[in-house]
Homo-oligomer: A and B are copies of this chain.
Amino acid sequence: MKNVIVGQSGGPTAVINSSLLGVYRTAKERGADNVYGMVHGIKGLIDGKVVNLSEVLTCDLDMDLLKRTPSSFLGSCRYKLPEPKEDGNLYKKIFAFLDKLQISAFLYIGGNDSMDTIKKLSDYAEQTKSEIKFIGVPKTIDNDLAVTDHTPGYGSAAKYIAATVKEIIRDGLVYDYPVVSIVEIMGRNAGWLTAAASLAGGEDCEGVDGIYLPERVFDVDKFVADVGSLLKANRSVVIAVSEGVKIADGRYVCELAEHVDYVDAFGHKQLAGTARYLAGRVACKYGVKTRAIELSSLQRCASHIMSRVDMTEAYNAGGAAVKAAFEGRSGQVITLKRVSDDPYMCITEPAPVGLIANIEKKVPPEWITEDGRGVTSELKHYIFPLIQAEIEPLWVDGLPRHIRLMK
């Protein structure tokens, strides 16, 4: 028996299900008897929650819907596997269950935390002479993984952001009085998503008037003054700002608001509110109409506007992971390697998972303009190919059709 198991972990992307499909189809084509899905990732696996994917993806239409369905089809988790020495029984339980299912390859689609899971399991397998192969498939809208040129999921989020910001820019110019629109974009520590707002500008669009990334220290007073200068020359000012911008003392900008936003059940401070705080400061100072626009979770689930380049790469990364496992590799992650810029060409390449696990890749300083209010053309050229081409929703009764695991 050659069985495969696959899981999805961490925050979803618009194309995380394309990677799942890449795993499923490639495994089947390469002779897997059964392809199981972990329901809610490794956490579900520990609880014995798996599905046989052939039972839930019953026809080609299901698979085409899967590519177009937002969120993680199998469900996800945020779970840090303990070290074997901390909980050896847990590892025994996991491997016993995998052996029971006659698993030969374990694929995990996730970000840097999930790659840590792959590393621990593959190390354990090596120590215990298990023959199960463990391969990671990268995924994150944040694009903050090391080694890989970019991450599946980033291109679609970037396309959504650029398209939406472009619409906001047109909308901002509708009246004959000044309007300041501040668009808050995801990215706690890395500014890749916020940088995508730069692509809105072009022949038919004025572009944004400022881009503020978390890689640079944020100065609120300077920001307000910058907007003031922009208002002298422009009727509409549109600013893209990362949710994660911090002032010199290390506090997030959204923490400066007088009211205390609640802390969530996990003790994480709710970050949303940066744009709102800044809009309030601008409104008070200049008496102009302001708008705070949070793109919120729409950035990661807007599967009605996906990048086909991104989708294809996500699918290929899933397929390459199966291939790597079937060829006997383990403890590796599939990376994307850009082999050419003109024309854009990108291949998959396995790399040791330890190079990616728990590491965050930020926007390099040389891709941020000296004044800290924009990004360079190099950064725009880097993102540009990743948002290209489209994949249409399957429209049913006026809405994009999805597929779900539980009916």
Task: Using CB atoms and an 8 Å cutoff, list the residues of chain A in contact with chain B.
Answer: 11-12, 40, 43-44, 65, 69-72, 75-78, 159, 162-164, 166-168, 170-171, 173-177, 181, 199-200, 202, 204-205, 257-259, 261-262, 264-266, 272-273, 276, 279-280, 283-284, 287-294, 296-298, 300-305, 307, 384, 387-390, 392, 395, 397-404
Contact = CB atoms under 8 A, between A and B. Distances in A.
B398 A389 contact: yes
Nearest to A286: B265
Q: Give me the 9 closest cross-chain CB pairs, A-B, nearest first.
A: A259-B259, A71-B170, A171-B301, A387-B398, A40-B176, A167-B301, A388-B398, A71-B171, A262-B283
A72 B176 CA distance: 12
Contacts of A77: 175-176
A399 B159 contact: yes
Nearest to A171: B301
A341 to B, nearest CB: 15
A139 to B, nearest CB: 12
Contacts of A399: 159, 162-163, 166, 199-200, 202, 387
A69 B171 CA distance: 10
A72 B174 contact: yes
A11 B181 CA distance: 16
A384 B395 CA distance: 14
Contacts of A43: 176
A42 to B, nearest CB: 11
Number of copies: 2
A27 to B, nearest CB: 23
Contact of A170 (B181, B258, B264, B301): B301
B168 A301 contact: yes
Given A71-B174, A293-B297, 10 more contacts: A65-B204, A71-B173, A77-B175, A163-B400, A167-B298, A202-B397, A205-B402, A264-B289, A291-B296, A388-B398
A193 to B, nearest CB: 16
A61 to B, nearest CB: 12
A29 to B, nearest CB: 27
